């Protein structure tokens, strides 16, 4: 197995640590002060720092300044390279590199050729993706060091859940070349959950969380079980089609067509590299503006053949033309829940993370998948939501401050993104109780998907007048009870006809915010499964209580202890896995 951490690094007491998220589109740096994580702005004032390097006359630019050079100096600008680390040329997807330095094969790895030295006659350099990453990380860490006023030595870095050991080893080596110790990698969804759970007002309850990490070039959705402070990744879905650049493309096509309509005979701005770069840059800015306001402008000087172009778009129009992309995000979320073997009713929270998660329509659509009881954490659905662009770096910074005191060796052994392999139980374990109508109902004590070993204790009330208490420990699983509504007569025509009538006028939106009134009712109900143990406690006092403790061991065997609160003795038994 590849080594995920350097063997040597600063002694724990000499470290200055930060959290880093190093994305294909943007990166961020954060640090923790008084248990609170803060994202650091670089010298340009940016907290989302484009993962781009550009070389002009031997000078290196990074971040937003480098991004601006995608218009005037694309061939010496390197962008969208993070996912190439630790990969062979034949396995990469260069789709996003058409408008900047092109990736090429270089031995076992991927490289870019750029003129990074001064003077026309200088021969261009071929830089491996590791070298590019090292140079970029050096700039990132430099900004953090300048801000903190001391040299940053170490970091926790977030990575997607499907980043393999080879990719991690390549990133570790690139960081080491930039004089940065990677203390630990944490998976992006866990970083997002950590950032939320670290808030002082957070209640650390057992919960199922869906984290939708929607970035520029990829979307990664994970279903995470949070049980007693332990996180288990139950399922993940990765997609490279539905992400921020797909939304940029929708707007680029929209404005290009409008430009051509207004300027008949002009060249299509999508057919000239420089015009295309301008179109892309401004479309992205318009898209971001539409997350905040209901109208946004688009304006480019000399878009094509020297013609300036200015226009506006409203949010409803945008939501209509981008509808198929938005629907793609919903499908990803639904498929992740399904892959985890869960129902949407099992999901307590949805965290929308990544830049694209600022989009109000995405949050609204995702909220329609889930019942009203599911919290949707995004800026447009919860006023107290954390900025989705900052979640990753914050989670990483919190983790960095937690582990900075440990030796690199210990961190390596104790952690990993191994959350995914932690054993967990599938069914819930609980007791049977009698409902008011005398029916047997299941009361969960250890929820399903709990990482083991685990221990939970509950108190069960004895019968009013005391006496013998029989405690039955059983497995429970949920099923979804569907209640069909009474058929209603419709007033005028079907919904489908209504949508058609709306045509494609500017103000139509096919997404109806009001869910159908006559939707069937779905609820989660417990089903009693296999009996694991029975314990009889004789002569429990009037009004007494029985304490039931369930220990699930690492091999999934279960030990149950029951005793009367305040009484003597008790019953204990073990059920093997």
Binding site for ligand ATP (CB under 6 A): 23-26, 48, 215-218, 243-245, 284, 287-288, 291, 354-356, 358-359, 389
What is the Cα–Cα distance from 547 to 535, expressed in whole angstroms? Answer: 12
* Smallest separation, CB 76 to ligand ATP (Å): 21
C-alpha distances (whole Å) from 447 to each of 234, 308, 343, 489 are 14, 61, 15, 42
b/e per residue, 440-479, with b = 16+ CB within 10 A? ebbebbbbbbbbbebebebebebeeeeeebebbbbbbebe
Helix 165-177 and helix 129-148, axial crossing angle in degrees, nearest 10? 60
What is the Cα–Cα distance from 12 to 232, expressed in whole angstroms? Answer: 28
Looking only at the bridges linking them, the beta strands covering 104-106 and 109-114 are antiparallel
C-alpha distances (whole Å) from 465 to each of 438, 539, 571 are 17, 10, 21
The 8-class DSSP code of residue 566 comes to T
Helix, strand, coil percent values for the chain (each to nearest 5): 30, 35, 35
Q: Nearer Cβ to ligand ATP, position 288 or 541?
A: 288
* Paired tokens of 85: 């680390």
Tokens 């221990």 sit on residue: 455
* Smallest separation, CB 96 to ligand ATP (Å): 8
Q: Nearer Cβ to ligand ATP, position 25 or 404?
A: 25
Q: Nearer Cβ to ligand ATP, position 244 or 430?
A: 244
* Smallest separation, CB 130 to ligand ATP (Å): 18
What is the Cα–Cα distance from 264 to 212, expressed in whole angstroms? Answer: 42
* Smallest separation, CB 311 to ligand ATP (Å): 19
Q: Nearer Cβ to ligand ATP, position 320 or 389?
A: 389
Tokens 């034949």 sit on residue: 90
Q: Nearer Cβ to ligand ATP, position 242 or 442?
A: 242
* Smallest separation, CB 288 to ligand ATP (Å): 4
The alpha-carbon radius of gyration of the chain (Å, integer) is 28
| Residue among 11, 29, 12 nearest 20 (CA) | 29
Cα separation of the two ends of the chain: 30
Q: Nearer Cβ to ligand ATP, position 65 or 433?
A: 65
* Smallest separation, CB 24 to ligand ATP (Å): 3
Alpha carbon 117 to its chain's center: 39
* Paired tokens of 266: 């002009």
Q: Nearer Cβ to ligand ATP, position 191 or 469?
A: 191
Q: Nearer Cβ to ligand ATP, position 24 or 367?
A: 24
28, 49 contact by CB (below 8 A): yes
* Smallest separation, CB 119 to ligand ATP (Å): 33
What is the Cα–Cα distance from 380 to 374, expressed in whole angstroms? Answer: 15
Q: Nearer Cβ to ligand ATP, position 206 or 248?
A: 248
One-character DSSP codes across 297-333: EEEEEEEETTEEEEEEEEHHHHHHHTHHHHHHHHHHH
- Count CB atoms within 10 A of the CB of residue 539: 12
* Paired tokens of 429: 């374990």
Q: Nearer Cβ to ligand ATP, position 182 or 552?
A: 182
Q: Nearer Cβ to ligand ATP, position 187 or 427?
A: 187
């Amino acid at each position: 197995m590849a080594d995920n951490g350097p063997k040597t690094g600063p002694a724990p007491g000499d470290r200055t640590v930060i959290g880093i998220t190093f994305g294909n589109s943007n990166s961020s740096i954060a640090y923790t002060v008084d248990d609170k994580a803060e994202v650091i702005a670089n010298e340009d004032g940016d907290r989302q720092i484009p993962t781009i390097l550009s070389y002009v006359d031997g000078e290196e630019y990074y971040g937003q300044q480098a991004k601006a050079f995608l218009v005037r100096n694309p061939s010496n600008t390197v962008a969208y390279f993070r996912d190439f680390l630790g990969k062979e040329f034949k396995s990469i997807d260069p789709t996003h590199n058409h408008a900047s330095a092109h990736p090429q094969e270089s031995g076992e790895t991927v490289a870019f050729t750029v003129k990074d030295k001064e003077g026309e006659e200088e021969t261009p350099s071929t830089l491996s993706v590791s070298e590019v990453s090292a140079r970029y990380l050096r700039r990132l860490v430099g900004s953090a060091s300048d801000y903190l006023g001391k040299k940053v030595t170490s970091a926790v870095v977030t990575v997607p859940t499907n980043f393999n050991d080879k990719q991690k080893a390549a990133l570790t080596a690139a960081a080491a070349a930039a004089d940065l110790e990677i203390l630990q990698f944490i998976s992006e969804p866990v970083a997002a959950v950590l950032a939320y759970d670290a808030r002082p007002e957070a209640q650390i309850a057992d919960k199922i969380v869906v984290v939708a990490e929607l970035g520029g070039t990829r979307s990664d959705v994970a279903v995470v079980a949070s049980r007693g402070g332990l996180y288990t990744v139950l399922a993940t879905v990765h997609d490279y089609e539905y992400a921020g650049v797909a939304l940029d493309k929708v707007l680029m096509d929209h404005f290009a067509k409008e430009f051509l309509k207004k300027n008949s005979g002009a060249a299509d701005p999508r057919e000239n590299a420089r015009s295309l770069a301008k179109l892309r840059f401004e479309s992205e800015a318009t898209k971001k503006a539409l997350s905040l306001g209901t109208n946004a402008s688009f304006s480019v000087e000399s878009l094509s053949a020297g013609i300036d172009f200015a226009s506006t778009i409203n949010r409803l129009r945008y939501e209509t033309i981008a509808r198929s992309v938005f629907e793609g995000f919903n499908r990803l979320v639904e498929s992740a829940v399904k892959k985890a073997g869960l129902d949407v009713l099992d999901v307590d929270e949805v965290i929308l993370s990544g830049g694209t998660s600022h989009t109000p329509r995405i949050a609204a659509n995702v909220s329609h998948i889930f019942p009203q009881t599911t919290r949707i954490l995004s800026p447009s659905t919860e006023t107290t939501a954390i900025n989705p662009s900052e979640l990753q770096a914050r989670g990483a910074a919190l983790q960095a401050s937690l582990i900075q005191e440990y030796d690199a060796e210990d961190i390596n052994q104790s952690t990993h993104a191994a959350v995914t392999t932690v054993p967990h139980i599938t069914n819930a374990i609980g007791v049977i109780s009698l409902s008011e109508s005398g029916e047997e109902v299941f009361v969960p004590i250890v929820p399903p998907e709990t990482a083991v070993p685990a221990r939970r204790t509950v108190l069960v009330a004895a019968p009013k007048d005391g006496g013998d208490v029989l405690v039955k420990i059983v497995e429970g699983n949920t099923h979804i009870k569907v209640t069909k509504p009474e058929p209603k007569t419709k007033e005028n025509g079907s919904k489908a006809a209504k949508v058609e009538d709306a045509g494609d006028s500017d103000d139509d939106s096919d997404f109806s915010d009001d869910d159908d009134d006559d939707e069937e009712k779905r609820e989660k109900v417990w089903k009693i499964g296999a009996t694991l143990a029975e314990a009889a406690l004789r002569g429990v006092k009037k009004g007494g209580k029985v304490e039931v403790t369930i220990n699930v061991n690492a091999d999934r065997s279960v030990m149950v202890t029951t005793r009367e609160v305040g009484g003597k003795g008790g019953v204990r038994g073990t059920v093997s896995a």
